[in-house]
Amino acid sequence: MKKHLFSLMSAALILTILISNIGSLIADGLAFDGLRQNVLRLHILANSDSEFDQNMKLKVRDALLDSGILSGAHDLDEAEENATNKLRDIETLAEITLEEYGCYYPVRAAIEDIGFDEREYGDITMPAGKYRALRIEIGEAKGHNWWCVMYPPLCLPAASDVTDNKKTEDEYFTEKERDIMKKPKKYRLKLALWEKIKEFTSKKDGECDDSTVQNDKNQKKA
Alpha-carbon distance of 39 to 48, in angstroms, equals: 27
61-112 confidence digits (pLDDT tens): 999 999 989 888 999 999 999 999 999 999 999 999 999 999 999 999 999 9
Among the listed residues 162, 180, 174, the one whose alpha carbon sits nearest the alpha carbon of residue 124: 180
- Provide DSSP, the chain: -HHHHHHHHHHHHHHHHHHHHHHHHHHHHHHHHHHHHT-EEEEEE-S-SSHHHHHHHHHHHHHHHHHTTT---SSHHHHHHHHHHTHHHHHHHHHHHHHTTT----EEEEEEEEEE--EEETTEEEPSEEEEEEEEEETT--S-EEEEEEETT--EEETTEEE--HHHHHHHS-HHHHHHHH-HHHHHHHHHHHHHHHHHHTPPTT---HHHHHHHHHHHH-
* Of 29 and 46, the one with more pLDDT: 46
* Of 3 and 158, the one with more pLDDT: 3
100-155 confidence digits (pLDDT tens): 999 999 999 999 999 999 988 878 899 999 999 999 999 999 999 999 999 998 88
Mean pLDDT of 183-189: 88
* Of 169 and 105, the one with more pLDDT: 105
Average pLDDT, the chain: 82
Q: Which residues pair with 114 in a beta bridge?
A: 131
Among the listed residues 115, 118, 121, the one whose alpha carbon sits nearest the alpha carbon of residue 135: 115
How far does CA 67 lie from the centroid of its chain? 24
Position 8 scores a pLDDT of: 54
Alpha-carbon distance of 118 to 129, in angstroms, equals: 8
Proportion of the chain above pLDDT 90, given as a percent? 48
- Phi, psi (rounded to 5 degrees) for 149: -95, 115
Maximum mean pLDDT: which of 4-8, 16-20, 158-162, 185-189? 185-189
Alpha-carbon distance of 135 to 156, in angstroms, equals: 18
